[in-house]
Amino acid sequence: MKLNLTADLAVLISIITVFLFANGNAYLGGYLSIFNIDPIILNYSIQDKIYIGYLKGFNTFIYAILVTLICMAVRFIWIAMDLSRKINNWLDRKLNTSPNNFTPVIHNSSFHEELERSYSRNASLGVSVMIILIVTLFILADTEKNANQKAVDDLNRLAFDTVSLKSSDKKDTHKIVLCGSTLCAVIDDNKRVTLEEVKNIIFYPKK
């Protein structure tokens, strides 16, 4: 089977980008759900969601790479050492089965052989896709759950950066929750969340 490296690389990058986007969306949705805010309201860009998905899914991404490399190494060792044949011979000896008799190849049977190989490849691909989809759903659910718990902890401790509103006479009475492209979610001392335009917020440098 001839591989097209450019096409394979493009497909791989696309899959990773979609995963990072979904992971970022899951994090934002889980975090903002505690404040009863939909991420769509804050108008996050696609680049922002991909970046957040990368930051919040970095450990998972590294683990996935390690698992992939380990599987590739195991498969290489399996084929190089011809373990399939050795295991079959060992089982034959343990089960005291007679070796398979030689069966001549049927004339013009290449069609059936190719059909069987094609079915095997397609079945393996289908199972792999299903496993990847199921694992991805679990990862996204875990990301959303962790974001939800982090929002609860931050809300209980009010662990947000202090800001002021230009429309308010009182200063340092609000804290920033999250900011999107044009709007920010801010919370006051009474834990009431409002949406404010970025231009109406006074930010302070961190101490």
Task: Give the pLDDT band (50/70/90) at residue 101.
Answer: low
Task: Give the pLDDT band (50/70/90) at residue 22.
Answer: very high
The per-residue pLDDT for 167 is 79
pLDDT tens-digit profile of 106-134? 555 565 667 666 766 677 777 777 888 88
DSSP secondary structure letter of residue 181: S
- Model pTM? 0.73
Secondary structure of residue 164 in the 3-state scheme:
strand
The per-residue pLDDT for 119 is 67
Q: Are 201 and 186 in contact (CB under 8 A)?
A: yes
Least confident of 5-9, 45-49, 144-148, 202-206: 5-9
pLDDT tens-digit profile of 31-63? 999 999 988 888 898 999 999 999 888 777 777
Handedness of CA 172, 173, 177, 182 (dihedral sign): negative
The 10 Å Cβ neighbour count of residue 33 is 15
DSSP secondary structure letter of residue 205: -
Longest dimension (CA), the chain: 94
What is the residue whose two structure tokens read 């889980």? 30
pLDDT tens-digit profile of 144-198? 999 999 999 999 888 888 888 887 777 777 898 998 888 899 998 888 888 988 8
The per-residue pLDDT for 158 is 85
Please, is 39 exposed, middle or buried when counting C-beta atoms within 10 Å of its C-beta (0-12, 13-18, 19+)? Answer: buried
The per-residue pLDDT for 70 is 84
Report, as an integer, the average pLDDT of 12-28.
89
Residue type, position 2, single letter:
K
Report, as an integer, the average pLDDT of 56-72.
78
How far, in Å, CA of 174 to CA of 171, rounded?
8
